[in-house]
């Protein structure tokens, strides 16, 4: 790992340490700032999914939710249009925030623009790295967040979400998802969603 890469990943982590929302990590058995834990999970999942990922993709994965708590969903209108606007604005914010950290560390403009491109999910399905980032996002959701999500929603809603998640992934993403160590309840639910 290059010195600059280590530095930018640390800078992203330092930003996310300020998250006032805490999440319990079953692996360490301790509480962590929510987005710090999410970013680290993204990096771990990327390393499993694509061990030789480019520096750009490694930065994008870690910065996927940088300071996400600063833009609440409740700040936008209810409904699909409000949700889409919120997600679009988040993508621009994350790209800008990570780009400014990269600039301060001395990355070239071309590197910064590439990471911004990935964080804004441009050319999904057409750009291999954008698709890889989306695969990793979906894998992290399935591995770490599906159980908690399932506790809050009924089965038809869960099946719909799993089907939408599946639709965002490539064949490589599907293979990785099917190999995840999901609970028996979640394996059953995924099976129903895919049947």
Same domain for 32 and 88? Answer: yes
Tell me whether residue 62 is exposed, middle or buried, using C-beta atoms within 10 angstroms of its C-beta: 0 to 12, 13 to 18, 19 or more.
Answer: buried
Q: What are phi and psi of 19, to 5 degrees?
A: -60, 120
**More reliable by pLDDT, 75 or 51:** 51
User: In the predicted model, what is the mean pLDDT of residues 69-98?
Assistant: 90
With cut-offs at 50, 70 and 90, classify the pLDDT of residue 164: very high
What's the predicted TM-score (pTM) here? 0.94
Question: What angle in degrees, to the nearest 10, is found between the helix axes of 55-63 and 3-16?
Answer: 10
Q: Give the pair of three-digit tokens for residue 36.
A: 């710090």
Same domain for 111 and 40? Answer: yes
> Which of 102, 120, 138 is at the close of a domain?
120
Same domain for 105 and 137? Answer: no
The residue with tokens 């990935």 is 118
pLDDT at res. 145: 93
Same domain for 155 and 73? Answer: no
Same domain for 96 and 134? Answer: no
Q: CA-to-CA distance for 16 and 140, rounded, in angstroms?
A: 17
Same domain for 14 and 88? Answer: yes
> Which of 54, 87, 120 is at the close of a domain?
120
> Which of 120, 148, 178 is at the close of a domain?
120
Q: Give the pair of three-digit tokens for residue 96.
A: 């800008």
pLDDT over 80 at 1, yes or no: no
Residue range(s) defining the domain that contains residue 4:
1-120
Same domain for 17 and 95? Answer: yes
Counted domains in the chain: 2
**More reliable by pLDDT, 28 or 47:** 47
């Amino acid at each position: 790992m290059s010195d600059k890469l280590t530095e930018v990943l640390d800078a992203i982590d330092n930003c996310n340490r300020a998250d006032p929302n805490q999440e319990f990590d079953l692996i360490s058995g301790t509480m962590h700032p929510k987005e710090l834990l999410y970013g680290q999970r993204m990096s771990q999942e990327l390393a499993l999914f694509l061990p030789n990922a480019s520096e750009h993709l490694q930065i994008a994965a870690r910065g996927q939710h940088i300071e996400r708590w600063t833009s609440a969903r409740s700040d936008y209108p209810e409904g699909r249009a409000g949700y889409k606007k919120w997600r679009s604005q988040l993508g621009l914010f994350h790209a800008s925030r990570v780009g400014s950290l990269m600039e301060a560390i001395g990355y070239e403009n071309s590197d910064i623009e590439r990471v911004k491109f990935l964080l804004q999910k441009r050319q999904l399905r057409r750009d291999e790295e954008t698709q890889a980032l989306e695969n990793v996002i979906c894998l992290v959701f399935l591995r770490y967040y599906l159980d908690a999500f399932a506790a809050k929603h009924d089965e038809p809603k869960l099946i719909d979400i799993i089907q939408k998640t599946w639709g965002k992934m490539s064949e490589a993403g599907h293979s990785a998802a099917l190999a995840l160590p999901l609970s028996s309840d979640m394996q059953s639910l995924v099976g129903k969603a895919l049947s």
